[in-house]
Amino acid sequence: MPAMNELIFGSIAEITAGYHQKKFSPVEVVKAYVERLTRLQPKLNAFVHVDAKRALQQAEVATASVMRGEQLGLLHGVPLTVKSCIDVAGWPTPAGSLLRKDYVVQVDAPLVARLRGAGAILLGNTNTPEYLMAYETDNSLSGKTSNPWNLERSSGGSSGGEAAAIATGCSVGGVGSDGGGSVRVPAHFCGICGLKPTPGRIPASGHYPEGGGAFAWLGVVGPMARTVADVRTLFEVMAGPDGGDALSAPVPVRAVSEEDVKKLHIGILESDALGKATPETTAAVERAATLLREQGFTVETKRLTGLDRAIELWWYFFGPVVANLIRQGAVGHEEEMSPMLREFVALAMAEANLTYDYFLNACAERDKIRAEILRQMDEVTILLSPVSSGPAFRHGEGNWRIGAKENYRDTMKYSQWLNLAGFPGAVVPVGASPEGLPIGVQVIGRPYEEETILAVGEAIERGRGPWKAPNV
């Protein structure tokens, strides 16, 4: 039997290679992950639902395939998890809400079907804030998820359960979703990698809340894992058009050579609209730039204008518009909403301007801003920036209140503008705070250029050295 760390912290490539070489079996790997998550769940509270029995049954089938020497899929026997707002047949998908506690579907979301088709074994789904509307994973249905680097800190939101599970070896990787940083912030807080793709590259069909119209610009689903290579593998499996996603784009996954990537001009993002990051956060971005320069990349500063209005418009759609929909859907059940969600709705509705003319003009202005940012990135096509202004905050300190120390509209601007513009962004852990909390760096690119972003992220990772696990 191999060492436990070889099983629970192995990459997708290492695990599948171990199967081919008969070093260990899917049954052994899945058992190791189930034992690990069972032990850590009381500490972290990362999971909403665990399907250990079915996972072990699937592992037995996967092991038999290995023993017969059959051709194996990219994810054959790889234990994964899924955020609990994404449909998995037979599982509850509550999205953190008492209002959805009994919601169980019988059909997998397209991205889930693609993971299964590649041989993945799903262990369970993970915790979120209610309706995904906070950067702290806490709700009245399943409680809060803690950061594996410091249990007094938040794992982030809204994919906080997913990030905590992956960082601690309770999952090889999985799927989150991102409407304002909800893949990237938890990845940054927990010290793993994540990708917010361009809307439509991975189908968001089967995700709650549903996307459509102006809202589909904001929200995407994306892979999370401990290494960029694993993020890429998950992206390649899930990417592709689907008729259920209105923004679905038939953009094929393409290979990017190291030679072509090194020809790129990379910018360190500067903008007066984004606020001030902690010294350690700024140092992590500078370190990423240095690691790239040492490998032959050209890196310079790049100032973008227009991000202030992009962030304001993002808040209009994510705040007042979405809050109004939540309020309408919860009529008569307001007391069942978690305190965080009630506060969000109250604050957002206090700023609501929901006239038809204002909404229409906001939609048109969004397109103009997106075009202007694209023009500014004509030559410098990749940007490096913080994910947020600092590392993971303490439980309960983050909120939407203007003037508060950890107000999301101040601290999360670095992530939010990408959702308004529909740009992709990946996170790579690079630095650490004085308290030992991880600090990720955001690699930003133009729409449909995820492959290039991931190639740059992998170069940063290569220069940084091996990934380190939290001691939890």
Q: Among all residues, which ones are annotated catalytic?
A: 83, 158, 182
- 442-445 long-range contacts (CB < 8 A, ≥24 apart) are 442/184, 442/188, 442/384, 442/385, 442/386, 442/387, 442/414, 442/415, 443/382, 443/383, 443/384, 444/269, 444/382, 444/383, 444/384, 444/385, 444/418, 445/381, 445/382, 445/383
Distance CA 233, CA 167 (A): 18
Tokens 């120390």 -> residue: 405
Q: How far apart are CA 467 and CA 472, in angstroms?
A: 15
Phi-psi sector, 119: left (phi>0), alpha (psi -120 to 50), beta: left
Copy the structure tokens of residue 105. 């579907």
Task: Answer whether 123's CB lies under 8 Å from 81's CB.
Answer: yes
Type of residue found at 244: G
Q: Are 175 and 86 in contact (CB under 8 A)?
A: yes
Cis peptide before 158 (omega within 30 of 0): yes
The per-residue DSSP string of 216-275 comes to: HHH-EEEEEESSHHHHHHHHHHH-S--TT-TT----------HHHHTTSEEEEEE-TTS-
C-beta neighbour count of 254 within 10 angstroms: 10
Q: For residue 157, what are the β-bridge partners?
A: none
